[in-house]
Structure 1
Amino acid sequence: MAKRRANGEGTITKRADGRYQAAAYVYRPDGTRTRKFVYGRTRDDVADKLTEMQEKTRQGIPAASSTMAFGDYLTYWLAVIAPERLKPSTLNSYEGLTRLYIRPALGKKKLNRLTPADVRRFLTEFKTACLCCLRGADRERPEDKRSCCAVGRCCKRRPSARTVQYIHAVLRSALQQAMREELIARNVARIVETPTVAPKEVRPLNAAESRLLLKTARTHRLYALWLLLVSTGLRRGEALALTWSDVDFTNGQLRVRRNVQRIRRELIFGTPKTTRSIRTVPLSRQCVRALTQHREQQERERKIAGKKWQPTPEQPDGLIFTTATGRVTDPRSLNRMLNILCRDAHVHRVRVHDLRHTCASLLLAHGVDARTIMETLGHSTITMTLDTYAHVMDTTLRAAADRMDHALGPDDNEEVL
């Protein structure tokens, strides 16, 4: 005869369909307790699930239920599950999107009552709605809780294609976890296709504008950084996290192995999001010279700063692009610097990320193949490279057609002049 489990240890029973079920009291996200059931094909499977569930209860971690409000489930998912699986920057963006857009629209729906129609309607309305109205407050009058449209001053700011994709990704990820925990039978967000949104056209600098920008940046203390961004297409966080040990001056190359991002009020160093982003990038002779000069300049700044040269404890040793006191450069400050450089160079205003697009466009224009560009930029797939820069490949495609004419020779019907 099986030993009876003590009070509080939960129960395990065999169902009529042959599966096993276990039940125990767990915490809800609101702090109250409820009885939760888990299921499995064998007694050992159920026992393992029960142990995990009870361990969370002992730690005060809430458990989800199928009848809870979707907004409460998102709170649980972001607090308990997502931090173990997402990068800090991704988690931060997911939390913001949930708080600003998803919870106000779908938060009151029951988790097990959420339908594909609910998700489809939300995404369709979201991509065409005014951002201020979605957030439920007027940006110009934060004390007024009415939306800008409600007071007759629509700001006409619409979500970007990337934001719509992120919103859909949050819904898919959260509901997929609910499926794993057997709270719902299907992931309704996977059933719904992401609404098509016309992406904003990338408008990088051309070759002449790039030369003007770099000429203007010659006197800037971070000239080597601007040259590096245009020449190698590094991401902003990747460039600012480089250390001198990452640069091989002899062979003219650098290794990308970390990044830095602002998460709320902190600058966090971490690894790139994908394995493709960890890469070795060749450097032009100009970049090697600029980095050599920058190292000498940094040594002069260190001597001038003296005791004021105080790197933060969190940053790695030997950062290349620091402030005048040796601290990590805030990624947000680069956009302000670049705005001033664009103004002084009399070129159209671009973001720091647009310099990455500029690098790819210049490489394409000079006949570099897409595979090489993918490796240089650290894209996860070549499809991403081709899709992102399809609009600037016309020159390359035209050159390919001209080379075919040269390979096949003149047409018999073509008049020879």
Structure 2
Amino acid sequence: MAKRRANGEGTITKRKDGRYHAAAYVYRPDGTRTRKFVYGQTREEVADKLTEMQEMTRQGIPAASSTMAFGDYLTYWLAAIAPDRLKPSTLNSYEGLTRLYIRPALGKKRLNRLSPTDVRRFLTDFKSACLCCLRGADKERPKEKQTCCAAGRCCERRPSARTVQYIHAVLRSALQQAMREELIARNVARIVETPTVNRTEVRPLDAGEVKALLKVARPHRLYALWLLLISTGLRRGEALAVTWSDVDLSAGTLRVRRNVQRIRRELIFGTPKTTRSIRTVSLPRRCVQALAEHRETQEQERKIAGPKWKPAPGQPSGLIFTTSTGRVIDPRGLNRMLIILCRNAKVRRVRVHDLRHTCASLLLAQGVDARTIMETLGHSTITMTLDTYAHVMGTTLRAAADRMDDALGLDGGESDPEGESAA
């Protein structure tokens, strides 16, 4: 009589269809044990798979992948893992993309059954779908706002290429964490090619438009802010979070070390997104003078406000740019102010972020090198600077060609004598 195999050693059996299958007890990711089956065409193939499972079990490594729904895992990832690794604004964006688009389409899929084909098909369908109808899948929206295509009046709005790229980033990050926790064997989102994004051409203000805008902004109580944004290229959240302790007017420098952003209904102060964004910026003399005048104006406003001067909870003390009662300015409010200034200055309407582009284009026009511009703007890499402003570098490139003529000692009508003799 054959000796009975011990519990846990596994079994190999031939099926009626001629194939073989093996079974053994393995660990789940939560530490419990379950019986797992593997299949193959030959006994040797199945034996190898069985040996691999048993070796993982001996090492305490989970060999059974998670069968939880992908939507449930996303909820866990966003609540327990992502807050410690993402900036608040990024987390808020990921939560919205997950709730509106990813969970309705892929939420019911099993985590261990999610395939590259599922991800690729989802991204393809997402790119071509109506944006309002995609959002209509959100159960929290009122029924009358569920879809527009169903009513026969499609809005024809489609997700931007950048939104598609963000969706792919959420999938990739979530599944990568699932791999680290050994819930799945591979990250199927990494297998799918990242969607490409065609950069839109930056259209900054020219020198004439800048002068017209600053002339109109001169009587504005935040004139120093507008001049600072144009002169240094600070992001709006960075400029609104600068305190007087960050500025050295005698040395003409400003330290960028925090920003402010609106997350849902709150204004939250935090650190810039990258380490490159934490920087020291040199201030033009006009900025130094405007800031000195702004300090005097702020002191007068403080005296007039009296007890009404109350900074918001969590707000750093000594903010340079505040409301007339000492509270932090909502970054979104700057856009509305700029729209009015552009209208009064009779220049084309631009965003606050376009003032950052304007700063870079003005520096390029003055022959400032890309590396210095990168440090001024706080870009993470010089590649970002070159890619963003490649189309406005004509003046710099022309100047480089002229300098080469000077270095070679050749003018436009002079020929190379060595070239003539060689010919």
Q: Which interval holds the TM-score relative to the shorter structure?
A: 0.7 to 0.9
Tell me if the contact between 1:175 and 1:187 (Cα under 8 Å) persists in the aligned partners.
yes
Q: What does the per-residue CA deviation read over 1:242-261, in whole Å, with 9 as the maximum and x for residues that have no partner?
A: 00000001110100001111
- Shift of the alpha carbon at 1:152? 3.1
Q: Deviations over 1:193-237 (max 9, x none)?
A: 222232322221111111111111111111110110011000111
Residue 5 of structure 1 is matched in structure 2 by none
Cα 1:399/1:35, change in 2 over 3 Å: same
More off after superposition, 71-80 vs 198-207? 198-207
SS at match of 1:144: helix
Give, as a single letter, the amino acid of the residue that structure 1 aligns with 2:242: L
How big is each residue's C-alpha offset from its partner over 1:114-155, in whole Å with a ceiling of 9 and x where there is no partner? Answer: 1112212222232333321221279xx965244223323333
Partner of 2:221: 221
Does the C-alpha gap of structure 1 residues 364 and 117 become closer, same or farther in structure 2, counting only changes over 3 Å? same
State the SS of the aligned residue for 1:219: coil
Counterpart in the other structure of 1:381: 381
Distance 1:42 1:185 in 2: 13
Aligned to 1:207: 207
In structure 2, how many angstroms separate the alpha carbons of the residues matched to 1:25 and 1:190? 25
Paired amino acid for 1:83: P
- Deviation (angstroms), 1:44: 12
Relative to 1, partners in 2 of residues 1:137 and 1:337: Cα closer, same or farther, differing over 3 Å?
farther
The residue that corresponds to 2:279 in the other structure is: 279
Gapped regions of structure 1 (runs ≥ 5): 1-12, 27-33, 50-63
**RMSD of aligned alpha carbons:** 2.9
CA contact (8 A) 1:212 1:345 kept: yes
Any unmatched runs of 5+ in structure 2?
1-6, 11-24, 36-52, 417-423
User: Aligned AA for 1:405?
Assistant: D
Q: Distance in 2 between matches of 1:44 and 1:337?
A: 66
Q: Is the 8 A contact 1:69 1:110 kept in 2?
A: yes
Q: Which residue of 2 aligns with 1:341?
A: 341
What's the CA shift for 1:158?
Answer: 2.8
Asked if 2 retains the 8 angstrom alpha-carbon contact of 1:312 and 1:327, the reply is yes
> Which residue of structure 1 lines up, in the alignment, with residue 144 of structure 2?
144
The secondary structure found in structure 2 opposite 1:327 is coil
CA offsets 1:26-69 (integer angstroms, 9 cap, x no match): 9xxxxxxx8799x999999859x9xxxxxxxxxxxxxx972112
Match of 1:31 in 2: none
Match of 1:237 in 2: 237
Identity of aligned residues (%): 79
Match in the other structure for 2:98: 98
Cα distance in 2 between the residues matched to 1:396 and 1:40: 65
CA contact (8 A) 2:29 2:181 kept: no
2:79 aligned partner, one-letter code? A
Q: Secondary structure at the match of 1:373?
A: helix
**2:195 corresponding residue in structure 1:** 195
CA deviations over 1:383-410 (Å, ceiling 9, x no partner): 1111111121122222222222233213
Aligned residue number for residue 176 of structure 1: 176
The amino acid of 2:112's aligned partner reads N
Residue 25 of structure 1 contacts residue 36 of structure 1 at CA under 8 Å; is this kept in 2?
no
Residues 197/277 of structure 1: CA separation in 2 closer, same or farther (3 Å cut): closer
Q: Does 1:167 align with 2:167?
A: yes
> Equivalents in 2 of 1:103, 1:44: separation in Å?
36
**Partner amino acid for 1:112?**
N
Whether the aligned pair in 1 keeps the contact of 2:104 and 2:137 (CA below 8 Å) is: no
TM-score (norm 1): 0.82
What is the count of residue pairs matched by the alignment? 374
One-letter identity of the residue aligned with 1:246: D
SS in structure 1 at match of 2:225: helix
Summarize the Cα distance change of 1:358–1:371 in structure 2 as closer, same or farther, 3 Å threshold: same
Cα distance between partner residues in 1 of 2:150 and 2:197: 25
SS of the residue 2:255 aligns to: strand
Distance 2:8 2:237 in 1: 54
Cα pair distance change 1:402/1:129, threshold 3 Å: farther
Rounded to whole Å, the distance in 1 between the matches of 2:28 and 2:120 is 35
2-side partners of 1:286 and 1:45: how far apart?
A: 67
Amino acid at match of 1:301: E
1:74 aligns with 74
SS at the partner of 2:81? Answer: helix
2:66 partner amino acid: S
8 Å Cα contact 2:70-2:106 kept in structure 1: yes
Do the aligned partners of 1:24 and 1:36 also contact (CA within 8 Å) in 2? Answer: no
> Are the structure 2 counterparts of residues 343 and 24 from structure 1 closer, same or farther at C-alpha, using a change threshold of 3 Å?
closer
Cα distance per residue 1:245-281 (max 9 Å; x no partner): 0000111010000111111111111111111010000
State the partner residue of 1:256.
256
Q: 1:349 to 1:137 in 2, by over 3 A?
A: farther
Asked whether the 8 Å contact 1:124–1:195 carries over to 2, the reply is no
C-alpha distance in structure 2 between counterparts of 1:24 and 1:204, whole Å: 53
Q: Shift of the alpha carbon at 1:413? A: 4.1
Tell me how far apart the structure 1 counterparts of residues 222 and 386 of structure 2 sit (CA, whole Å). 31
Q: Choose 1 or 2 for highest CA Rg.
A: 2
Residue 218 of structure 2 aligns to a residue in which SS?
Answer: helix
Q: Distance in 2 between matches of 1:262 and 1:120?
A: 33
1:124 aligns with 2:127: no
Give the secondary-structure state (helix, strand or coil) at the position aligned to 1:269.
strand
SS in 1 for 2:194: coil
Would the alpha carbon gap of residues 43 and 102 (structure 1) be closer, same or farther in structure 2, given more than 3 Å must change?
A: closer
Q: Please name the residue that 2:50 is paired with.
A: none
Instruction: Give me the TM-score of the superposition, normalised by structure 2.
Output: 0.81
CA drift of 1:84 comes to 1.2
**Match for residue 40 of structure 2?**
none
Equivalent position of 2:186 in the other structure: 186
Cα pair distance change 1:15/1:298, threshold 3 Å: farther
Q: Work out whether residues 29 and 66 of structure 2, in 8 Å CA contact, stay in contact via their aligned partners in 1.
A: no
Inter-CA distance 65–224: structure 2 relative to 1 (3 Å threshold): farther
Q: Please list the CA deviations of residues 9-37 of structure 1 after superposition, one character each: whole Å capped at 9, or x if unmatched.
A: xxxx9989xxx9766979xxxxxxx8799
The DSSP-based 3-state class of the residue aligned with 2:342 is helix
